[in-house]
Structure 1
């Protein structure tokens, strides 16, 4: 159960560097602003399962904040009830951002020029898909300087519903490492292709949970056109929970044939394949037989 956070007339915490708030209901815009403004040396802020429904516009502004974590509650109210608030983040020295939630609130990251790592996980609800997709685009818009990005496949999948707002995505010129958590499903492939087109300098791509069983690929259906980062700068691919099925091999074949500066592909087998040495041998031979775009590429299967 959330408790309402109330403040004295004056809030001033001149030595506070770390603030964690959990299961808190913010009373109004003014009191929340008072809290953030009263922490002049704050370096780490964590907001877990806090309730923002009483708020309309919030600004988290700090020149000292380095780490920000927001874990949003899902919204269970009626469709015509109050919507989430607008949260603006002005933190020029932020290096780490983690957002997990249903994107009920619209988050605008306005100044995070020092951002290195960002973790974004947004489930796609059955309702309000376009609204959530718009919020995801608004959140991603502010992450154009990020170097390492970890996103759930649901986050990428939400871009399918973004429609015309997808043109608002920035080019992630600094992004060199992209990690996708949770299984990639059939519906995610198209959205992933679109997203990779905004990552011109990507060097490392990780599928931490592999493909779902509904993914069915053929060579000519994987990428059209091929994202430029695959051929020009991708150097490493990590593929976990590998089952060795035709679609997965087809996908990896497309990478190996078209990645011309590729250095390393690390494949981790799922439990069933790991326990079947004969099948492992067949898969390894199939991968070794692929004509590679980069002669220096090394493929490991474990």
Structure 2
């Protein structure tokens, strides 16, 4: 049979739909295929553009490209827009982005430039503030801003926005973020990454990043790999007031203090914070901050805590009372080996715990064996499933931990050992034989490998 171009026979709406999944630079290349394809890319309802992809990075070429795209089909609605502005300012690009926003996109992702070059070819830091019509968009459902300026225009109302990601955004003042979030009445998901150098314009002693929302369900401050140079002179406070919040992730020490309010609906909290560079028990202000924070999350049902969070809670427990997590049924925790003695006391604060996933961090040079004493109340009534996670070696301490649970957990159904492929002197079979010889307090408890995890 003669060769046939079946793709070109597809209807135009389907072809533009296919092209919408490609970066714009690739969809433009299809214009050389045939006459029919020449202008097809101009009707694609999405834009995914990296300004650094243009030859020699000439500003006029970038602007001309935008103008051609926007003028070819003035009625075209760009539903999904992603623009990476590059490292250096393109004067006039902000006006084109404003026109794009006017076209009513549902998804907008803008990575701003961070430098400009003056007439003497010297490079200076630069912040490109977003067009004002962004703050009254009636179509946006998701918004991501990276290295972009955010200001308080006086009126913020984005009635359809459900997801917002702000990565190292710069704010004119500490009311800008609050006004932005408050102006999104159906916002459900917010991700916030602080610029560790500065997050504001001007010189201030303190800066509050206030997240106050009646609709927010998921809030994340993710672990961010990169620079860790925090300002020595400006104190950053994160304040979260969200009565419908269900999931909260605080994954990095980006703030000097954290305040939580009205977290009555909190289901899951993932904590990888230490509250301070070094916790001083004599610092009453910091002690109160930790106390109010822990009291503010007592409704949580599923909690994940890192070793540094465990450490600071242990230090706090020496000077303050840890509240009871009455609703907590699932706990995932990494305990430093020198904090193992604190494990029973912490579990005592979880009277209804059912599932425990425990990872113990052993420094290479550690040879001490830490004894586990006392039996928390949950061992006698609710604790059903324990997983000892990421076991690299098997020695006295590992056996001590497994024995502690087997001899004391009265209603435990499963003890799962997650053994890694790390070279060990003891085989998997020998480990399970040794553990199975322990006298179990719960006669129905099973000792299982990690492929039969807790339900």
* Short-chain TM bin: 0.7 to 0.9
> What is the aligned partner in structure 2 of residue 207 from structure 1?
358
Count of residues in correspondence between the two structures: 291
Distance, in Å, in 2 between the alignment partners of 1:35 and 1:148 is 29
1:47 deviation in Å? 0.4
Unaligned ranges ≥5, structure 1: none
Counterpart contact for 2:279–2:312, Cα < 8 Å: no
Distance, in Å, in 2 between the alignment partners of 1:262 and 1:163 is 27
1:162 deviation in Å? 2.0
Summarize deviations over 1:167-203 as a string: whole Å, max 9, x none.
2x3210010100024xx32332234333222111111
Q: Which gives a bigger RCO, structure 1 or 2 (Cα 8 Å, sep 6+)?
A: 1
1:214-233 to 2 correspondence within 5 Å? Answer: 214=366, 216-217=368-369, 221-223=371-373, 225-233=374-382
Counterpart contact for 1:103–1:136, Cα < 8 Å: no
CA gap 1:135/1:52 in 2 versus in 1, 3 angstroms: farther
Say which is worse superposed, 128-137 or 156-165, in terms of deviation.
128-137
Counterpart contact for 1:6–1:31, Cα < 8 Å: yes
> What is the aligned partner in structure 2 of residue 40 from structure 1?
185
Counterpart contact for 2:188–2:216, Cα < 8 Å: yes
> What is the aligned partner in structure 1 of residue 413 from structure 2?
263
Counterpart contact for 1:49–1:71, Cα < 8 Å: no
TM-score, scaled to structure 2: 0.58
Distance, in Å, in 1 between the alignment partners of 2:213 and 2:338 is 39
2:239 aligned with 1:84, yes or no?
no
1:58 deviation in Å? 4.6
Say which is worse superposed, 59-68 or 129-138, in terms of deviation.
129-138
1:174-193 to 2 correspondence within 5 Å? Answer: 174-181=327-334, 184-193=335-344
Distance, in Å, in 1 between the alignment partners of 2:318 and 2:430 is 45
TM-score, scaled to structure 1: 0.84
CA gap 1:256/1:103 in 2 versus in 1, 3 angstroms: farther
2:426 aligned with 1:282, yes or no?
no
1:115 deviation in Å? 1.4
> What is the aligned partner in structure 2 of residue 96 from structure 1?
247
User: For 1:285, what is the secondary structure of its paired residue?
Assistant: helix
> What is the aligned partner in structure 2 of residue 115 from structure 1?
266
Counterpart contact for 2:245–2:265, Cα < 8 Å: yes
User: For 2:194, what is the secondary structure of its paired residue?
Assistant: strand
User: For 2:175, what is the secondary structure of its paired residue?
Assistant: helix
Counterpart contact for 1:21–1:46, Cα < 8 Å: yes
> What is the aligned partner in structure 1 of residue 156 from structure 2?
11
Counterpart contact for 2:186–2:216, Cα < 8 Å: yes
2:316 aligned with 1:162, yes or no?
yes
Distance, in Å, in 1 between the alignment partners of 2:280 and 2:199 is 20
Distance, in Å, in 1 between the alignment partners of 2:338 and 2:332 is 18
User: For 1:166, what is the secondary structure of its paired residue?
Assistant: coil
Summarize deviations over 1:72-108 as a string: whole Å, max 9, x none.
8756333xx23222x3322121111111122633222
Counterpart contact for 1:63–1:93, Cα < 8 Å: yes
Counterpart contact for 1:40–1:64, Cα < 8 Å: yes
> CA-atom RMSD, angstroms?
2.8
CA gap 1:185/1:72 in 2 versus in 1, 3 angstroms: closer
CA gap 1:228/1:215 in 2 versus in 1, 3 angstroms: farther
> What is the aligned partner in structure 2 of residue 251 from structure 1?
401
User: For 2:264, what is the secondary structure of its paired residue?
Assistant: coil
Counterpart contact for 1:210–1:239, Cα < 8 Å: no
User: For 1:267, what is the secondary structure of its paired residue?
Assistant: strand
Distance, in Å, in 2 between the alignment partners of 1:129 and 1:3 is 37
CA gap 1:212/1:165 in 2 versus in 1, 3 angstroms: same
2:348 aligned with 1:197, yes or no?
yes
1:249 deviation in Å? 0.7
| Structure of larger gyration radius | 2
